[in-house]
Amino acid sequence: MSNRRTNESLKAARLLMVLSSISPLFIFWAIRGNKLVPDRYFSVFCALMIVVPNAFLWLRIRTAIKSRDKRQLTAGASEDHREHLLSYLVAMLFAFYAPEFSNWRDFAAVMTAVAFIVFLFWHLNMHYMNVLFAIQGYRVFTVYPPADDNVATGRSNFVLITKRTTLSAGTRIDAYRLSDTVYMETDS
């Protein structure tokens, strides 16, 4: 298998999926408010950062289903990422719940930290991390291609969002493409 990075063509989708994954942060910020920006502006900003990326994610899922952007995938080895979602939530929410925006330097520092997290999620191809998937009972697996050297089964890893509790090697999966490396198995 090649170590080359997969060239992701749905870049806007990836960015909005990353932003939807950090939307819990904006819920806490909207509740807390701050001393620098009046609530009417800050609340609107937080609401937009919650609604727009999550609406896009929902729309991307609906579009993939409606346009039948479906692939048949074959699993090789797989890793369950439940612990990654929990680590993500704990690290992100505890790291950002405490800051008080008492001056513009604090605000700039927090926004720089958010930009850094967005960049890391983007760069590490972790745009699948989303608490909404966990709430709906989905699990996330990184799936490696089977070791059969068959061109049709794929040569690169992919992420599968599914309600399955386990995923065995050789399993065939019909899943909708959310991005070039993230697929979702739904009942639709």
| Rounded Cα–Cα distance for residues 10 and 184 (Å) | 15
* Distant-in-sequence, close-in-space partners of 145: CB < 8 Å, separation ≥ 6: 1, 74, 76, 153, 154, 155, 156, 157
Question: The tokens of 34 are what?
Answer: 């701050």
Q: Given this model, what pLDDT does residue 111 score?
A: 82
Dihedral sign for Cα atoms in the order 143, 149, 154, 155: positive
Question: Tens digit of pLDDT for each residue in 44-88?
Answer: 999 999 999 999 999 999 999 999 999 888 888 888 876 666 666
What percent of the chain has pLDDT above 90?
A: 22
Q: Residue 163: what are its φ and ψ, rounded to 5°? A: -90, 0
Contact 181, 156 (CB under 8 A): yes
Task: Identify the pLDDT of residue 1.
Answer: 37
pTM, full prediction: 0.76
Q: What span, in angstroms and rounded, lies between the C-alpha atoms of 37 and 186?
A: 41
